[in-house]
Structure 1
Amino acid sequence: MREVVFVVAHEPGVNPVADLLAEHPSGRIRSLACHVTESSLWRVDRANGPDAVLDALEDMAGAQYFTDCLVREDCHGEWETTVLDRSDGSLLLYSYWERTPDCDSVPHLAREHFGDGVVLDETWRERRQRWRVLAPDGPVSEFVDDVRAVADADVEFERVSDPERDTDEELPPKQADALAAAVEAGYYETPREIEAYELAEELGIPGSTLTYRLRRAEAWLATEYVDQ
């Protein structure tokens, strides 16, 4: 089994759900169940947050509540959303989507690349839709390429690994490169000679990607030090 973790970061004005959550940082959506076939998808989501978020999501129930489609422009998929339950600070939503040739989603792409047996987990905060895909062995690089090619958003892949292995035997090259660049630029000096966002700009990568790579590299180094 392989674990693939990545974030789809939506630009302003593209996805109404992302715009809503960006206005209310305390709100979030978490998938409770997600099932997919070649031509359809159905899922149950729990939304938490202030009444302004939950009221707006209730109003979006229908075509605007598009949590899965990666192609917002000219997508004519039939989407139906039903409110199952509303309580203090919580909203339970059921959605069903009939896929069209013009539309693609993370669950559909995962099924096409990995076949049956894929487990999907999704958490959405502000404009960042974080996916965790647990799948049988398969063409991970092709899945990564397809998600990036299809998504009308910035896609940041955080982790592709074997979940049965606790730690990597060697520091992954991208994390090693990030760590070396941080040391050379004075990121670890006291006081710091450069901030993470400045280093990210120099390296030409998103700040969140650099921060993640440094955090993982630091965790690897700490584990290695304690083990030895």
Structure 2
Amino acid sequence: MAQATLTLTMPEQVWIQQLSTAYPTTTFRVLAAVPGSETGFALVRISGPEVADVVADMRDHPQILEVTLAQSSNNEATVHFETTAPLLLFSARESGIPIELPVEIVDGEATIEVTGSRDRLAELVDQFERYGLSYRIEHVRERLHESQLLSDRQLEVVVAAVEAGYYDTPRRCSLTELADHLGIAKSTCSETLHRAEEGIIKRFVDDLPDFDSEESLEDQLASS
């Protein structure tokens, strides 16, 4: 399974692009969303100095069919609405990839997290292009469950090493003392720690955003 972080820009003719760029200091935080057959429904928390104006413009926008105010204050409002242009929802539905919520949209850009097979993720970006969404790839990596990173024994030794102060500066526990505490040979303890550290460090390096953001998602998925 691959995990991708992408920054999206909506088409200029879509309401969220128009409103979020008209009110660039406003944050639209999508808390829940579901696509219908031809429209989409969402619960969004809007925060910023011009919340009342934003909500008023939502009510007046032709792509917003209904707005229900759930909560409001001077600088924040939570609204439930229906729109004829839920491009993110349609893209997710057609590709079979759920978009992880919440999603924040500020000044015309939304950063999203998605996880799925490489084929599904490639289909998702195809759908983005179909609906006119431009995207920038921030990060792509293989998503592993923690149990795939360390074995039970490696996890046991690493936790014991941390608790005993083996990784403290200055070190409060020697390798010999750690091995004695665990009841294993010093060489076994050293080898187990080395293999665990190898897995942890490689995961850390893999998570660094060291890719070329101009490379297509399909190419990154194929090469990862």
Q: Report the Cα offset of residue 141 of structure 1.
A: 0.8
Q: TM-score, normalised by structure 1?
A: 0.54
Aligned to 2:81: 95
Aligned to 1:8: 8
Any conservation in 2 of the 1:121–1:132 contact (CA below 8 Å)?
no
Aligned to 1:126: 107
Q: TM-score, normalised by structure 2?
A: 0.55
Q: Structure 1 residues 21 and 118, CA, compared in 2 at 3 Å: closer, same or farther?
A: closer
Aligned to 1:30: 29
Q: Structure 1 residues 59 and 32, CA, compared in 2 at 3 Å: closer, same or farther?
A: same
1:61 aligns with 2:52: no
Give the secondary-structure state (helix, strand or coil) at the position aligned to 1:61.
helix
Higher-Rg structure is: 2
| Identity percentage of aligned residues | 15
Unaligned ranges ≥5, structure 1: 67-77, 179-204, 206-228
Q: Report the Cα offset of residue 48 of structure 1.
A: 0.6
Aligned to 2:192: none
Q: Report the Cα offset of residue 30 of structure 1.
A: 0.5
Q: Matches of 1:9 and 1:84 in 2, distance apart?
A: 27
Name the Cα RMSD after superposition.
Answer: 3.8
Unaligned ranges ≥5, structure 2: 146-199, 215-224
Q: Report the Cα offset of residue 121 of structure 1.
A: 3.2
Q: Matches of 1:126 and 1:18 in 2, distance apart?
A: 8
Could you tell me which of 67, 85, 88 is aligned with 1:81? 67
Q: Structure 1 residues 19 and 150, CA, compared in 2 at 3 Å: closer, same or farther?
A: closer
Greater helix proportion = 2
Q: Which stretches of structure 1, 4 residues or longer, exceed 6 Å deviation after superposition?
A: none
**1:1-228 matched pairs, under 5 angstroms:** 2-10=2-10, 14-15=13-14, 17-50=16-49, 52=50, 54-62=51-59, 64=61, 79-97=65-83, 105-114=87-96, 119-135=100-116, 139-151=120-132, 153-164=133-144, 167=203, 175=210
